[in-house]
Structure 1
Amino acid sequence: MSSSDSEFGFLDEIETSADEYEPSSSSDSVEESVVPRVLKRKAPVDSRKWRAAVQKENIASGKSHITKKGMLIGPRKTGRDCKCKFGCFTKFTDAEKKKKKNHLIKRFNAIGEKTKQDTYLLALISSRAALPPRRPLTQNPGNQRRRNFVNEYRIKNALGSNIRVCRKAFASLQGISVKRVELLAKLSNSGKTLSPTENRGKHHNRPRAIPSALTELVAYHIEGFPKEQSHYSRSDNSCKHYLSADLNVTKMYELFLEKYKDNQEAQRIKYDFYYRFFKANFNYGFGSPRTDTCQTCDSMQNELKNPDLVESRKNELITLKNVHLAKAQAFYDELKSFSKTAEETVDVDVLSFDYQQNLPLPHVPAGDVFYKRQLWVFNFCIHSAKTRKAYFFMYDEATGKKTPNEPISFLDYYFKNLMDKDVKTLYLFSDNCAAQNKNSTLPFFLNKTAEERKIKILHHYPEPGHSFLPCDRAFGQIEKKKRLKERVYTPEEYCKIVKQSSKSFEVIAVQQSAIFDYKSYYEQSFKKLTINDRKVKFQISKLRKILYDGNGQVQCSTNHWMEPATVQSYKIKEKNMSSSSRSDIRLQQAYSSQLPIPSAKYADVMSLVKKYVPHSHHDYYDALLASQDTSAEPRPESEED
């Protein structure tokens, strides 16, 4: 029996203190050695792209630009006619004049650098000693201004002859200012140099500059904070380290001032400088508080911190930890590699699936909510690496539970309605949660799927505690969007939040009729997987890979490399029964009616509804049913120990 589109309701209406952290050069962690500051977070600075540098280049190239005062200056062009007594502009024919002037501007712009342009202009300027005046121009010769040099300016015509022009014409034909010509003429007359240099901004009078001794003090302070690598991935971020989640740059700066409060020079350091220095010179981040860390890592790390630990045991622990981390990394390496293959290959897809942390209803910012039990909304995600889309199957606890039946029902719907028909190789990645993803029911379903669709399915499980999947990134986006919404009263509102979190998210509202009892169906139809021909017991909790090729055989491995010594084969066998008895076994719906809410929880939910939920949403809560069972709620499922 298969599910149909009508069984999943698509939501068409959804729119789209200083002593706390005393920096120390010592480290409690094996990996907390000082990181060289050459491993910066930022790319090398390209000063050519600075706004001032771009503006300077545009000016030299004669392009239009905006000044620091916001004025728009057009491209370089020929200036006005000098109209002097020598008739400089008349020394060119009309056709030659237009061509020559345009040619001069283009040739000057092509030089593209001010100092080279000045050298070029100096070659066109010559000077000679001025002749003494024939008669005094004033009655008092001592007050007479006398030129010591006479400058001559020349421009080549179309025939290559040098034509003498006046200073104003020289500036106009080059599209530059007369002041610039005057400065070059003075430089030529001084006899100091024939190669002008740009000295603006190159002085060393900078009284506010931070001495190198202070920058080293800041660096020493930052390096003193304990740091560690990412819990999940180390190969891609080998240079990236993380400080405590309780720290930030502001607190680090305050600790710096507190530590060096008796150092007057250190008090010169301002927050802006500390912040820029931290960002530019350290590839550090701030870790989030970790609530789902690896028990193996934590246990070994805690033992390694023991000061009385003997050297042999310490070396053994370090080796075990490195092997453990290598196994964890192998999972991520394969996820990355297969995902890239899926993007480039038509018949390959990679799916990761997982449940999000339960979403509470009603969600209100009231203090007493923390002391009340709330209604849960479940959100199951299937992420495709081929399409880079995520599909979310959402339902509340009155509709379904979190048993093996729900994930298998959603996977079955995805295979039949959403997955590309050309897929022949399917890679699955999930965590080790026994209730949903790692149980005795799922192998029967995946084997049947591989047989019916004639495809190969390889299911990957991570090392416990190292199960960060693409689904978790999607859940992070949802949580970020959820924090912006102060109040949520119904599942539909959660659906809208998910939909609005990303354009690549698609929400499917699950109806109870779409959840089937696969667990009972397979228990009636197939023999339980126990031991194989080698007398090896089937223990799914220890497996890291399971291969389904559709021939009734499942290949299982306890490591991520599927080494021959670790691979065991198990035969899926049907139970012995008559054909009529087998035909009586049908896939039934998992639930025949709305699921009741435990009475204690129901009372808490309704008390919150009465206080905080608007009357327009009361219909949803009024439809809930209370259970007569007063037992405590079941403990939430977790990954394998």
Structure 2
Amino acid sequence: MNFHLKITWYPKKRKSTISRRMVTFSYQVKVNGCNILVCREAFFSVHGLQNNQGRLKNLQKYLREGRSTSPKDRRGKKGNPSRKISQEAVQTVHNFINNIPKYASHYSRSQKPNKVYFDHDMSISSLYQEHYLKYCEQKNAPQVKVSKCRDIFNQDFNIGFKLPRSDTYHVCDEFQIQIKNDQLTNSEDIIRRLKIERDLLHAKASAGQNMITQLSKLAKENPEEYLTISFDLQQTFPTPRLTSEPAFYKRKLWTYNFGIHDCVSKKGHVIVWSEDEAKCGSDEIGSCLIKFLEIQKSQANILHIISDNYRGQGQNWATVALERSLVRTGKFKAIEHWFPQVGHTRPPCGRDFGRIEKHVKNRNPTVYTTHDWVTVIKELCKNNPITVVKMKQADFIDLTPLEKNIAKKDKHDDGSQFRFSEATAFRFDEGMPSHLKVKYQYTEYEEFRTVNITKKGRAHQKNNPFQLSWKYLKPIPICDKKLKDVMSLMPYIPDVLKGYFNSLSESKEQSDENETDVIDIGYIV
């Protein structure tokens, strides 16, 4: 649609020659070659002149005077305009923004390589009111209005606002701080070394992301042969989740959410439990993996696992013993467990967590128990639902018997040092189930190195991971302070659900009778 302005005037035919209104202006807009008569307000809206009606009045004045052309725009053409913003004031805004700490995005680094981010609790208005004005006073520099500050921020910078702690890697932040350290400015060798280490870390992260893509593609092309999954623990859910003001200042129970994403079907699975039912250590993660395999009933021969290399979740000896047992008992012919670079990769299960967090933020549900969290997640996106499994305490198994059947070696079979925490992949094959194969790079050109984890002595039993004993025989007690805060929220809990919270109190009282039964709870921050 093409907009074209045409203003015509008509002399008024009146009996008396004395009149305040000698002409009438009409407003036209050209649409597809045709002039359409519109009202004055519509003309203003079409051209965005609601706040600049003086410009139209000047045109009307020139038409009354018989001028055929409109005057040239002379805004900013005066020799010494009094309202012009000085270059010094603009440079002060630039210096202020440059001094604010920024964070690089690793999740979108390939799409937006030059974009950086401020902390999530900042905004342009808060920066202006709380920091910029004080900065100008300290520097004795000229100030600009908030509107001009916003224009400079949007036009001259490529900065966003986000939550940095879930997006950056602390090692990269340390590199960035050291590179900008004034004491190292004159030391080119140190800066060059830091930049090389940072670039190597980024290259390793990119290789890890490419590895995730390749494993997912391989499983999609051969679903009968490969099963590729990604798992991780999401941030804990506070329970109960109430809208009452006193609830904001009280400690609450944690609901743990363990996510497993099937990279072949692109289906998300979450397994939830409460902190009074189980902890969130390696035995609990292994129990969730067993539960998933029972539900999935996959007939694939090779299992590929993608997870972070945190000791409490995937990269630990309990998980190694479980994977060895799954191969040794014939559940899979081979298992490969890959550990992408922490803080730099986009694990598939992270997308499921993002959907859940967005759903909770938009809906803002009131949640009383862990079962309510199950209901909330089940209501998410009916077109692509997430499978939700509520773990019972009897579902958590003790992996200690499996771990006792292996020897925790610190040397490869060739005598070189086995760096457990630096490994990028573990592998077990059915032909050599007692030999742990290890990689330290994501490239396919590096061969696996072997570690014989066979335990010396008499032969151990061939434990079936699906038939291990329970880990817990009674509810886990809650610490006194947290339990006191939770019980103080009872006036806001429906009567039908108070029995569950009262049972927590009874469990605590029973545990106090025998101090040796008290278990320390580990929390996820």
Q: In the aligned structure 2, how far is the partner of 1:574 from the partner of 1:397?
A: 35
Aligned counterpart in structure 2 of residue 570 of structure 1, from 441, 445, 451? 451
Deviation, structure 1 residue 327: 1.7
CA contact (8 A) 2:247 2:489 kept: no
CA contact (8 A) 2:89 2:142 kept: no
- Match in the other structure for 1:607: 487
Q: In structure 2, do the counterparts of structure 1 residues 370 and 398 end up closer, same or farther at CA, with 3 Å as the change threshold?
A: same
- Whose RCO is larger (CA < 8 A, sep 6+)? 1
Q: In structure 2, do the counterparts of structure 1 residues 390 and 554 end up closer, same or farther at CA, with 3 Å as the change threshold?
A: same
The amino acid that maps onto 2:322 is F
Aligned pairs for 1:249-288 (under 5 A) are 249-250=124-125, 283-288=158-163
Q: In the aligned structure 2, how far is the partner of 1:574 from the partner of 1:351?
A: 30
Is residue 432 of structure 2 the alignment partner of residue 554 of structure 1?
no
The amino acid that maps onto 1:558 is Y
CA contact (8 A) 2:2 2:31 kept: no
CA contact (8 A) 1:514 1:589 kept: no
- Match in the other structure for 2:317: 440
SS at the partner of 2:427?
strand
Q: In the aligned structure 2, how far is the partner of 1:207 from the partner of 1:475?
A: 55
Aligned counterpart in structure 2 of residue 356 of structure 1, from 211, 234, 252? 234
The amino acid that maps onto 2:374 is C
Aligned counterpart in structure 2 of residue 238 of structure 1, from 113, 137, 141? 113
Is residue 178 of structure 2 the alignment partner of residue 303 of structure 1?
yes
- Match in the other structure for 2:350: 472
* Deviation digits for residues 523-577 of structure 1 (CA, Å, limit 9, x no counterpart): 344444453322345442221211233322332122333664x842123436654
Deviation, structure 1 residue 323: 1.4
Deviation, structure 1 residue 358: 1.8
RMSD, aligned α-carbons: 4.4
Is residue 470 of structure 2 the alignment partner of residue 595 of structure 1?
no
- Match in the other structure for 1:97: none
The amino acid that maps onto 1:511 is K
- Match in the other structure for 2:415: 535
Deviation, structure 1 residue 381: 0.3
Q: In structure 2, do the counterparts of structure 1 residues 369 and 244 end up closer, same or farther at CA, with 3 Å as the change threshold?
A: closer
Deviation, structure 1 residue 393: 0.3
Q: In the aligned structure 1, how far is the partner of 2:215 from the partner of 2:198?
A: 26
Q: In the aligned structure 1, how far is the partner of 2:451 from the partner of 2:166?
A: 36
* Deviation digits for residues 298-335 of structure 1 (CA, Å, limit 9, x no counterpart): 33333323212222222211211221222223222322
Deviation, structure 1 residue 292: 7.6
* Deviation digits for residues 214-238 of structure 1 (CA, Å, limit 9, x no counterpart): 8999997886533553144523321
Identity %: 24
Aligned counterpart in structure 1 of residue 326 of structure 2, from 432, 449, 457? 449
Q: In the aligned structure 2, how far is the partner of 1:589 from the partner of 1:203?
A: 90
Is residue 143 of structure 2 the alignment partner of residue 229 of structure 1?
no
Aligned residues: 443
- Match in the other structure for 1:321: 198
Aligned pairs for 1:96-115 (under 5 A) are none
Larger Rg: 1
Aligned counterpart in structure 2 of residue 488 of structure 1, from 367, 376, 392? 367
CA contact (8 A) 1:218 1:274 kept: no
Deviation, structure 1 residue 610: 2.6
CA contact (8 A) 2:105 2:167 kept: no
Is residue 336 of structure 2 the alignment partner of residue 461 of structure 1?
no
- Match in the other structure for 1:509: 390
Q: In structure 2, do the counterparts of structure 1 residues 67 and 381 end up closer, same or farther at CA, with 3 Å as the change threshold?
A: farther
CA contact (8 A) 2:252 2:486 kept: no
* Deviation digits for residues 373-417 of structure 1 (CA, Å, limit 9, x no counterpart): 422211100012222221000111222221222222222232343
TM-score (ref. length: structure 1): 0.58
CA contact (8 A) 1:353 1:381 kept: yes
Q: In structure 2, do the counterparts of structure 1 residues 298 and 204 end up closer, same or farther at CA, with 3 Å as the change threshold?
A: same
Q: In the aligned structure 2, how far is the partner of 1:561 from the partner of 1:584?
A: 34
CA contact (8 A) 1:521 1:585 kept: no
SS at the partner of 2:488?
helix
The answer for unaligned runs of 5 or more in structure 1 is 1-49, 70-201
Aligned pairs for 1:149-188 (under 5 A) are none
TM-score (ref. length: structure 2): 0.69
The amino acid that maps onto 1:442 is T
Is residue 223 of structure 2 the alignment partner of residue 338 of structure 1?
no
Aligned pairs for 1:397-408 (under 5 A) are 397-408=275-286
